[in-house]
Structure 1
Amino acid sequence: MSLPKCLVLLSTYNGENYIKEQLDSLIKQEGVQLHILIRDDGSKDSTTNIINRFTVQFPNIISLIKASNLGAKASFFELIKAAAEKYPNFEYYAFCDQDDVWLSGKLLRAVSTIGNLHQQLPLMYCSATQMVDKSLTNLKIWPSPPKKNLTIYNALVENIAVGCTIVLNREALQLIASSPPAQVNQIIMHDWWAYLCVSAFGKVIFDYQPLILYRQHSNNVLGGQTDSWFNKWKKRFHRYFQGQNHYIISNQAMEFYKCFHHRLDDTKRLDLHHFIQVADSGPLSRIAYAMSTPFYRQSNADQCILKLIICMGKV
């Protein structure tokens, strides 16, 4: 029996400090037929030189696209497009960041979990991570397993998927690539978009076992998950009242509606349309909707915040 074919989608940018460790860990993945597609987002340091040394050593495993700087989010959408067009025959596709370390069984566990479902529909695997500092010293396991169902009614308003843990089957990759967002700047992040797409038309699986060392350092775009509960919420409220998080969920929801409304069933389409429209309604209508909205976040505290920003018309 042949090994499952898995394409790793890796976006790099000025990652010279950690990219070698990451590539070493990818090469050591067990139980899969591996190829690594790297898109360098215009690095100005020695990142591409390090990658080139790997491509010489592993020419049949690693491919490098040198490109101009678009930012991590747009870079991953370019990788998704390239994967769908040039690598359509792979069974599985995994997102990868440049500064983590994967344990040797990460991909095999992911593809085995998806493969065991035996379903010809879009499937997405994601998992907890072992958070570490820049020297790979353990910090904590994050995030906690979600307690509520992983459906579009959660995915529209909250992302439970850490991007570097995501593995998609072919149907999921083709789904995401089939209707790319016209305005990528309206998308919050590629991993949230993947969760939204697959939860709407397929199935999302969360694995409580961490098989990735998720490095936290000064240049980590998403760091800060080691903050205390109080500091996390203090920063969240500060971002909100400074206007940084106003309308980002609604903007992404509108982009998703434009891309996929014709494929949604009647109930989901009407619920999504109502969610988008409520921001322009009066305060009493917003309060009534907040109390009865079918959309939900995983924790009670986050659900209260969702209802608050709906009431304020800032979702």
Structure 2
Amino acid sequence: MPHAKSKPEVAVVMSTYNGARYLEEQVESILAQEGVDVRLYVRDDGSTDGTVEKLERWASAGTLELLDGGNLGVTRSFLLLVSQVAERHPYVALADQDDVWHTNKLLRATTRLSELDPSLPAAYCSEYTYCDQDLVPRGRSHLNRIGVDFQRMLYENVTSGNTMVMNQLLARAVSRAGLEGVYTHDWWVSLVATAIGTLVFDDFSSLEYRRLSNNASASGRGAKEVLANRVRRYVAGDELGLVTRQLEKLRDEYWDRMPDDRRRLLAHFLEDDGLSKARTPGRLRQSERDEVALRALFLLGRL
């Protein structure tokens, strides 16, 4: 009698912060994933609203493994989580605390990843359905409009961490680079994947993305709100410098593992003058308006 095919084992890592209100619904959707063996790891980042007490009860019941917390911020918290599970599981998925996953989310992701060259670090990402706080659908994301590759990942993140699944090679590569110098964890994972391996972007809504006022990104909001968010962060603030620092870290950590064409492209944006960068052929951003804005920043010497 033939042996039944084993289910893919996926470590789901979640960083929580004052998420008690919606946490149970998300945990249930993660544990209800079909066709995969889920191991849930949670790290709390300093909650004060009862989140930790909920997590401790679930940990005592064996529902999840609760890792030591302390406030690091969302990016460092997620990277630390990845480093703690990368050697233990063939796949690692990132989870927000307030979404609801579709039941085939992880099976679809691991199936796509299993079809790739097993010698390459790889990431899977998808679209999502954004909802209000009561989980009423408000629309579907269109993050990937013209394709995603290394050049288009350098200055724009179109991958949403809550849809992301990594194979073990990528999780190991990310964890070995440490926590310093990373701007955002999901952008960083996708940059590393496209620099030394590959990224699969699935035109599929894998979850219900609950949009709250304290969400880290502006995805799913109105055009005016997104524009105001970008002006506040990139023009008035110092976040353009963090984008450059992230590219410098990419060079410092992975230069020897990158193909020649990607090394040349990265060196071009880190070393050449603004006019040369503004003349780079090919697209760098998904929308034409954002493309014009980026090339203006090159000419102004802001990037």
| TM-score bucket of the superposed structures, by smaller chain | over 0.9
Work out which of the residue numbers 188, 209, 212 in structure 2 matches 1:193: 188
CA contact (8 A) 1:145 1:207 kept: no
Q: In structure 2, what is the equivalent of residue 163 of structure 1?
A: 161
- In structure 2, the CA distance between the partners of 1:125 and 1:208, relative to structure 1 (3 Å rule), is same
Q: Which residue does the alignment assign to 2:299?
A: 311
Query: Relative to structure 1, is the Cα distance of residues 12 and 239 closer, same or farther in structure 2, using a 3 angstrom cutoff?
Result: closer
TM-score (norm 1): 0.89
- Tell me the amino acid that sits aligned with residue 65 of structure 1: L
Kindly, what percent of the aligned residue pairs are identical? 31
1:294 Cα deviation from its structure 2 partner? 6.0
Report how far residue 120 of structure 1 moved.
2.5
- Judge which range, 294-303 or 120-129, deviates more: 294-303
Q: Which residue of 2 aligns with 1:128?
A: 127
**SS at 1:117's partner residue?**
coil
1:258 aligns with 2:252: yes
* 1:46-65 alignment runs, 5 A limit: 46-57=50-61, 59=62, 61-65=63-67
Structure 1 unmatched ranges of 5 or more:
none
- Normalising by the residue count of structure 2, what TM-score does the alignment of the two structures yield? 0.92
Letter in structure 2 aligned against 1:72: V
Please give the alpha-carbon distance, in whole angstroms, between the structure 1 residues aligned to 2:102 and 2:291: 34
For 2:286, give the aligned amino acid.
Q
2:265 to 257, 271, 279: 271
Residues 1:227 and 2:222 aligned together: yes
RMSD: 1.9
1:214–1:197 distance in 2 versus 1, CA, 3 Å: same
Query: In structure 1, how many angstroms separate the alpha carbons of the residues matched to 2:248 and 2:275?
Result: 21
- Counterpart amino acid of 1:302? D
Distance 1:289 1:118, change over 3 A: closer
Paired AA for residue 63 in structure 1: E
Instruction: Supply the distance in 2 between the matched residues of 1:197 and 1:311 (Cα, whole angstroms).
Output: 27
Cα distance in 2 between the residues matched to 1:236 and 1:7: 33
Deviates more, 1:263-272 or 1:251-260: 263-272
Distance between the aligned counterparts of 1:224 and 1:202, measured in 2? 26
- Separation (CA, whole Å) in 2 of partners of 1:110 and 1:266: 29
What is the number of residues matched between the two proteins? 299
- Separation in 1, partners of 2:290, 2:276: 18
CA separation in 1, counterparts of 2:46 and 2:176? 26
Q: CA deviation at 1:118?
A: 4.9
- SS of residue paired to 1:14: coil
Determine helix, strand or coil for the equivalent of 1:270. helix
Structure 1 segment 172-191 matched on structure 2, within 5 A: 172-181=170-179, 183=180, 186-191=181-186
CA deviation after TM superposition for structure 1 residue 52, in Å: 2.1
d(CA) in 1 for partners of 2:118, 2:244: 31
Q: Is the 8 A contact 2:268 2:277 kept in 1?
A: no
How far is 1:128 from its partner?
Answer: 0.4
Provide the residue aligned with 1:33 in structure 2: 37
**Preserved contact between residue 278 and residue 298 of structure 2 (Cα < 8 Å):** yes
- Work out whether 1:287 is the aligned partner of 2:289: no
CA contact (8 A) 2:83 2:171 kept: no
Larger deviation, residues 292-301 vs 216-225: 292-301
Residue equivalent to 1:108: 107
Taking the aligned partners of 2:291 and 2:31, their CA distance within structure 1 comes to 41
Residue of 10, 14, 24 corresponding to 1:10: 14
CA contact (8 A) 2:92 2:167 kept: yes
| In structure 2, distance between residues paired with 1:305 and 1:277 | 20
Q: How big is the shift at 1:293?
A: 5.3
Q: SS of 2:33's equivalent?
A: coil
Query: Does the Cα contact within 8 Å between 1:100 and 1:213 map onto a contact in 2?
Result: yes
- Partners of 1:264 and 1:114 lie apart in 2 by 20
Q: Cα deviations across residues 186-220 of structure 1 (Å, max 9, x unaligned)?
A: 32200000000001111111111112110111221
In 1, the alpha carbon distance for the partners of 2:171 and 2:219 equals: 29
Specify the alignment match of 1:42 in structure 2: 46
Unaligned 5+ runs, structure 2: none
